[in-house]
Amino acid sequence: MRLMLNWILSAVAVWVVAQVVPGISVRGPVAALIAALVIGLVNATLGTLLKIITFPLTLLTLGLFWFVINALMLELASALVQGFQVHGFFAAFVGAIVLSLVNMVLKALLPAGDRDK
């Protein structure tokens, strides 16, 4: 149940980013759900590998390079999901920052028992 709730919250975050960031669009709730799933899978696999490989660069930039990696993951997800579009690296970069913030806020709204698990 917790996994489904996190998936839905991630889809809401994708929808919010599409409404706030120019250059990112999502066609509907199904596209937002699929985009959230693909973003999660891409970040869990390729994103983790890239974060490990680029760790020295991340240290030099005090963690800011992770936003570049997350922007690249957003662009990759937009290439894989029909109905989710990211137009340009700048939109992906801003979208990665906004997506991180919105996800953090939405997860903070969960009851304490759901966050700890």
pTM, full prediction? 0.86
Is residue 113 predicted with pLDDT exceeding 80? no
Q: 19-38 pLDDT, tens per residue?
A: 999 999 999 999 999 999 99
pLDDT at residue 101 tops 60: yes
Token pair for 14: 């994708």
The pLDDT-based confidence of 115 (bands split at 50, 70, 90) is: low
Neighbours of 90 (CB within 10 A): 13
For the chain, what is the mean pLDDT? 90
Rounded to the nearest 10 degrees, what angle do helices 2-20 and 89-108 cross at?
140
List pLDDT tens digits, range 80-100: 999 999 999 999 999 999 999
Supply the angle between the helices 65-80 and 29-42 in degrees, to the nearest 10.
130
CA dist 69 and 62 (Å) reads: 14
Q: What is the pLDDT of residue 107?
A: 86
Coil, helix or strand for 98?
Answer: helix
